[in-house]
Structure 1
Amino acid sequence: MTARRWLAALLLTASTLVHAGDTRPGPRAIWIWEGESYAMLEDDAAARTAIAFLKDKAIGTAYVYADAYEGRNLIATQPGRYRTLVRRMHAAGLKVQALLGSGYLHTERYLLPEHRRAAQAMLQRVLDYNAAAAPDERFDGISLDIEPHILDAWATSKMELLGDFLDMSDALVRQKNAVAPGLPMGPAIPFWYDGIQVEWKGRRRPMNEHVQDLYDTVALMDYRDHAEGGDGIVSHARDELDYAARIGKPVVIGVETMPNAIRKVSFHHLREGDMERELAETARAVAGLPGFGGFAIHHYAAYRRWLGAD
């Protein structure tokens, strides 16, 4: 499926959910990190619980971690576990994307030239997995989480690191397109990329535009606890959504449920109804923008804890 056809299908779903009066505007995705993903791969009860929870919360896409954790790399050594889980999630009506990027592995380093091969090997394992899997066992996309601003050098070498991120992205997109051009891939990016002008390959543009041009989609880490106002979700997403409309690629708006010392960054200090109200307000404000691809919640374990599900 081409990026534009994929966008059209996704936006049709979004329109249906928003305008049909659904109390949970969407579509919705969720990040599922290392420990929880490995639990789902290795424990039938954990997988069953997770699938039921996602369905109950109207989450249609799961970003399932697909790299090494605690000395093991199941996608390489036991791909059958992924085949079973992905097939099971598909049977439940869920989409599954391979989540690549890890605090455990410190993959923020992968954007540096000396670690580029590690980034490419990480991606190649997923591409190899999909090539060997049956259609109902394949990932529906790839979600990257490699953030330059986490590196210690960010304070002194911001522009160089952003250039390194774009170079890495260019290499990964070319690698993916060589074998799976129809497989959507996109990174999580902070909402403030639109305020940084970066010169790359002879063109000086906002960082978000470089990234959106390279990838099929982006998940915008739009971490605020309110929709409206100059420091709200809608305002921070506007430039990315406007550019997405111009290039025909979707933007998924990410929100946070983990505790944070800065209250406005997360919904953690509020209630579920408050978040649903703000997401509904966001959806109403951006429903007319063709680049709106729904919401993503960060993240599965934190979301469950916040809701008192654990």
Structure 2
Amino acid sequence: MSKNANYSKTIWITMLTLLILLGGLPMSSAHAQSAQKATWLWNTQLIATSSADVLQFAASEGINLIYLQINRDLDAAVYHHFIAAASAQGIAVQALDGAPSWALDSQRSQLQASLDWISSYQNTAGADERFSGIHIDIEPYLLREWKTKQTKVIRGWQQSVLSVVQTARQLGISASADIPFWLHTLYTADQQTTLSSWMMQQYDSITIMAYRDRADAIVDVASAELAEGVTAGISVYVGVETNASAEGNGITFYEEGAAYMKQQLQIVNDTASAYASFTGVAVHDYAGWTAFNNR
């Protein structure tokens, strides 16, 4: 490289650094532009009857990750076909399952049955037909036992997480889960760390259920766990809701409409990208989102 070229390069780097320091060019801009988008697909019959529609919608909305509910009654060939088609579009598909009772020691056999199905599926599917990860939604705080035996339930929840992660490691795929935005206010059964931080130390990725209908509120409720994600060094998705909610108008985008949500999610991407853990947004769920768009 010539002396003049070196000089020009030095000037350019100096100017770029000044722009960043003065706020003219956010350091997180590249991260924001590369933000991912995920959705949950609970109705597995759709991949048998409407797979082309699902994938067309995914393409139109820029979705590159689908949490797909597993259905042990559905022929594995249906999953083979859908995941292969999704893979061809650059869309990752994770095996989705869960129930509040899976945190109970007495019900862990249900979790194990699901993990066994995933293992069997992965071992018989082709390379482009396999799930890229396991995504779990347990939510034991919905159980009546949560009010009377919370520490015991939390201990069981932790054990279930370890079972999920162990299976994922054996299969060579990722493990992830949904968690509420307030989980950092609770502690592990041994009181050593916050429950959300412990989850992040186990999982490869977390999706925060930050269900609000304004970008500032979404980032605000997600901020504590986004910060924990930075410390843990994992990927964190920020989840939002499109379905009607009995919890109030501030929880879901259902009342505001698709155009408003798109605008707010762009702000979330721009703002949350200040956290190195932020990976993208996750919209709950495919059925609600498509109905929402068609209103």
TM-score class normalised by the smaller sequence: 0.7 to 0.9
Counterpart amino acid of residue 29 in structure 1: A
Secondary structure class of the residue paired with 1:159? helix
Flag the structure with more relative contact order, 1 or 2, with Cα contacts below 8 A and sequence separation at least 6.
1
Is the CA contact 1:100–1:145 (under 8 Å) kept in the aligned structure 2?
yes
Match of 1:4 in 2: none
**Pairing 1:39-58 to 2, within 5 Å after superposition:** 39-40=46-47, 42-43=48-49, 46-58=50-62
* Structure 2: stretches of 5+ with no match in the other structure: 1-27
Match of 2:178 among 188, 196, 200: 188
Match of 1:136 among 114, 128, 134: 128
Find runs of 4+ consecutive structure 1 residues off by over 6 angstroms. none
Aligned equivalents of 1:281, 1:191: Cα separation in 2: 19
Question: In the TM superposition, what whole-angstrom CA distance separates every residue of 1:196-221 from its partner, at most 9, and x where no partner exists?
Answer: 13333xx5221101111111111110
Match of 1:64 in 2: 68
Aligned equivalents of 2:185, 2:215: Cα separation in 1: 20
Q: Are 1:29 and 2:38 an aligned pair?
A: yes
Secondary structure class of the residue paired with 2:71? coil
What is the deviation of 1:16? 5.1
Aligned equivalents of 2:167, 2:46: Cα separation in 1: 30
Q: Are 1:275 and 2:289 an aligned pair?
A: no
Secondary structure class of the residue paired with 1:199? coil
Match of 2:15 in 1: none
Is the CA contact 2:165–2:203 (under 8 Å) kept in the aligned structure 1?
yes
Counterpart amino acid of residue 36 in structure 2: P
Match of 2:96 in 1: 99
Aligned equivalents of 1:142, 1:121: Cα separation in 2: 14
Aligned equivalents of 1:158, 1:96: Cα separation in 2: 33
* Structure 1: stretches of 5+ with no match in the other structure: 1-13, 20-24, 102-106
RMSD, matched Cα: 1.8
Q: Are 1:239 and 2:224 an aligned pair?
A: yes
Match of 2:271 in 1: 285
Match of 1:197 in 2: 187
Aligned equivalents of 1:162, 1:82: Cα separation in 2: 33
What is the deviation of 1:295? 0.7
Evaluate the alpha carbon distance shift between residue 128 and residue 92 of structure 1 in structure 2; reply closer, same or farther with a 3 A threshold.
same
Question: In the TM superposition, what whole-angstrom CA distance separates every residue of 1:144-179 from its partner, at most 9, and x where no partner exists?
Answer: 1111012122222233222211111112212332x2
Q: Please, what TM-score do these two structures have when normalized by structure 1?
A: 0.81
Q: Please, what TM-score do these two structures have when normalized by structure 2?
A: 0.85
Identity, in percent, stands at 26
Q: Are 1:87 and 2:84 an aligned pair?
A: yes
